[in-house]
């Protein structure tokens, strides 16, 4: 019997099955897409064990990396090799950490690799893939400039709401009159402008490394790695926080012309210190600290001292290349002042230094003319911060009535007050030294404020002798003990063979009475200098020189815990210091 097929019904059933399958597939796709979106936005998360493990391993790897140069290193080549090795590990660990963090929570884009940098910029100062330290830098590549100076490393936004301490206004509030509210600050010396007495470990060997010129020349191609390792480790964000915690409200940042550019024959590392200067300003901003920019080394060396970069030779204003180098310095100020005219610096840069300690031996008429040109450039370009010039070892009285044309611009005179480079002042006994500070230094400030105008003390210290290693130049010894060239009689108060440098250089020996002496000596100077616009202590940190380190003083109990709460001033009787030997 033949069965007759219903072809129409079969076709209908087939179509129904196809539509049903398509609908199920569409639902599954929609669910998958929804889950994917939720997961990518962090609404849904998988197991955190893998990212945490990965991140922890990366952190351990970073922590295990060697730190580079050590204080007891005696070979600059070994130092450079150690830095190169540690840098590779550190950057690998950092990249791993970033990657693992990104898998669990949204983060900023990963830093570019070398291949991401345009070929024309690879190996340049804008190549962030070659930087040894990326902490708190914006690692996004950019070749944008202001004043022909790079913006790379900076974030697009900033916050000026921080306040250094309850006694001063937040950055975004006016400071008011410095004559009525003097600032209290500290230098971060020896960081971006090297000095052997601050970081002797960098100058240990070979013999003849007197200044940064000699060091970078000796290191050659390894200089960039050695110096950047120093920049990233000697002063960190922690230091800026501790500066604010100490009751200080301003920080002076010395840097030199090679942060901006170098010239033919220069061995200096160009440009690297620039980004650390910018990062230092951002750290100051974070903790409510206002900044004094200080050009410490000028082309040709303005004084022939090691902190200018090169010892002995002065070729600025005077000398065979003096006029050319003076013009170069003006062009550097043109670039710097354009850069620091940006709106981002209006609340954080309070002072703009023109030249640190130009030599007394320079042609003073030409130097004054140069100061006028530099000041005009800074004002014309709209740089934030009052311009500052150095009194140049001539004494504050010399400047009475000078530069009246800049009165409206608050051109500040900067004096550096020390009692240890003059044998007559070295011989002061402890109580006499404090009396000198309370009377002489105070009167100098009062008279300068009346006869010139805005006056600051840009450097001072607790040192009462010149015993610190390398303070007078590499290997020059001390006047205190008569082992300084040309000195035959010890300059300490007893002026005999009792005079010793051993005690003051060894913080572990300090007695309570000795600490009281150097604490009172510090407070006397603070009190005196606050009769002007304020002061910057020299300096925040040293490797082995406690009488030159504000941080050493805080940690050792011979500096006020808060700069604004001192418990003594010059109007009160000086404590009994008769038990403090005058020969130590």
Active-site residue set? 357, 459
Gyration radius of the chain over CA positions: 30
Quote the crossing angle between the two packed helices 272-286 and 237-245, to the nearest 10°: 40
- Using alpha carbons, select from 391, 396, 341 the residue that is nearest to residue 149: 341
Q: Measured between alpha carbons, how far is 152 from 174 in angstroms, rounded to an integer?
A: 29
- The b/e string for 473-489 (b: 16+ C-beta within 10 A; e otherwise) is bbeebbbbbbebeeeee
Beta-sheet strands, E only, within 266-371? 290-297, 349-353
The pairing of strands 290-297 and 349-353 is parallel
Written as one string, the DSSP assignment of 359-422 is: -TTS-HHHHHHHHHHHHHHHHHHT-SSEEEEE-TTS-GGGGTT--GGGGGGTPEEEEE--SSSS
Determine the angle formed by the axes of helices 442-451 and 512-529, rounding to 10 degrees.
10
Question: How many whole angstroms separate alpha carbon 399 and alpha carbon 405?
Answer: 13
Closest Cα to residue 387, out of 339, 417, 355?
355
Residue 182 backbone phi and psi in degrees, to 5: -65, 150
Report how far residue 54's alpha carbon sits from residue 46's, in angstroms, rounded to the nearest whole number.
15
292 with 536: CB under 8 angstroms?
A: yes
Whole-angstrom distance between the N-terminal and C-terminal Cα of the chain?
A: 131
User: What are phi and psi for residue 250, nearest 5 degrees?
Assistant: -135, 155
Residue 91, φ and ψ in degrees, nearest 5: -70, -40
Q: What are the DSSP E strand ranges found in 267-366?
A: 290-297, 349-353
Other CB atoms within 10 Å distance of the CB of residue 278: 19
Q: How far apart are CA 293 and CA 348, in angstroms?
A: 10
Measure the CA–CA gap between 56 and 377, rounded to whole angstroms: 52
């Amino acid at each position: 019997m033949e069965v007759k097929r219903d072809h129409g019904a079969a076709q209908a059933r087939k179509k129904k099955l196809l539509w049903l399958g398509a609908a199920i597939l569409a639902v599954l796709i929609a669910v998958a897409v929804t889950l994917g979106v939720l997961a990518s936005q962090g609404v849904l998360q998988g197991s955190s064990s893998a990212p945490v493990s990965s991140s922890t391993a990366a952190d351990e790897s970073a922590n295990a990396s060697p730190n580079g140069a050590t204080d007891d290193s005696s070979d600059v080549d070994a130092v450079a090799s150690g830095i190169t090795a540690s840098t590779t590990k550190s950057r690998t660990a950092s990249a791993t950490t970033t990657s693992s963090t990104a898998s669990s929570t949204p983060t900023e884009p990963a830093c570019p690799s070398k291949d991401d940098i345009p070929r024309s910029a690879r190996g340049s100062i804008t190549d962030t893939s070659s930087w040894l330290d990326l902490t708190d830098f914006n690692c996004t590549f950019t070749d944008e400039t202001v004043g022909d100076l790079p913006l790379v490393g900076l974030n697009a936004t900033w916050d000026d709401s921080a306040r250094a301490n309850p006694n001063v206004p937040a950055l975004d509030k006016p400071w008011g009159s410095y004559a009525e509210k003097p600032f209290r600050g500290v230098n971060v010396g020896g960081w971006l402008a090297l000095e052997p007495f601050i970081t002797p470990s960098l100058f240990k060997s070979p013999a003849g490394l007197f200044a940064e010129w000699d060091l970078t020349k000796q290191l050659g191609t390894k200089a960039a790695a050695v110096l950047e390792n120093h920049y990233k480790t000697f002063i960190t964000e922690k230091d800026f926080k501790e500066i604010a915690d100490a009751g200080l409200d301003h920080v002076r940042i010395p840097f030199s012309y090679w942060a901006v550019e170098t010239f033919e024959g220069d061995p200096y590392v160009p440009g690297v210190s620039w980004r650390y200067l910018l990062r230092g300003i951002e750290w100051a901003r974070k903790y409510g600290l206002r900044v004094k920019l200080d050009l410490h080394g000028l082309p040709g060396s303005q004084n022939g001292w090691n902190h200018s970069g090169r010892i002995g030779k002065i070729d600025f204003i005077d000398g065979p290349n003096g006029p050319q180098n003076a013009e170069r310095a003006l062009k550097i100020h043109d670039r710097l002042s354009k850069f620091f005219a940006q709106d981002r610096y209006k609340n954080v840069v309070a002072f703009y230094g023109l030249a640190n300690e130009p030599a007394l031996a320079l042609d003073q008429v030409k130097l004054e003319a140069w100061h006028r040109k530099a000041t005009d450039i800074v004002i014309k370009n709209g740089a934030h911060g009052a311009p500052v010039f150095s009194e140049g070892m001539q004494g504050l009285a010399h400047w009475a009535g000078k530069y009246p044309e800049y009165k409206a611009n608050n051109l500040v005179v900067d004096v550096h007050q020390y009692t240890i480079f003059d044998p007559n002042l070295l011989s002061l006994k402890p109580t006499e030294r404090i009396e000198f500070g309370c009377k002489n230094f105070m009167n100098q400030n009062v008279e300068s404020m009346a006869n010139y105008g805005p006056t600051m003390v840009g450097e001072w210290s607790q040192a009462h002798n010149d015993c610190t290693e390398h303070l007078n130049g590499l290997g020059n010894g001390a006047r205190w003990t008569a082992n300084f060239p040309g000195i035959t009689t010890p300059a300490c108060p007893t002026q005999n063979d009792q005079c010793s440098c051993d005690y003051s250089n060894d913080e572990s020996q300090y007695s309570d009475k000795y600490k009281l002496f150097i604490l009172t000596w510090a407070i006397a100077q603070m009190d005196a200098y606050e009769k002007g616009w304020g002061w910057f202590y020299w300096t925040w940190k040293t490797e082995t020189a406690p009488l030159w380190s504000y941080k050493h003083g805080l940690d050792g109990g011979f500096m006020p815990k808060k700069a604004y709460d001192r418990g003594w001033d010059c109007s009160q009787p000086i404590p009994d210091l008769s038990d403090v030997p005058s020969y130590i």
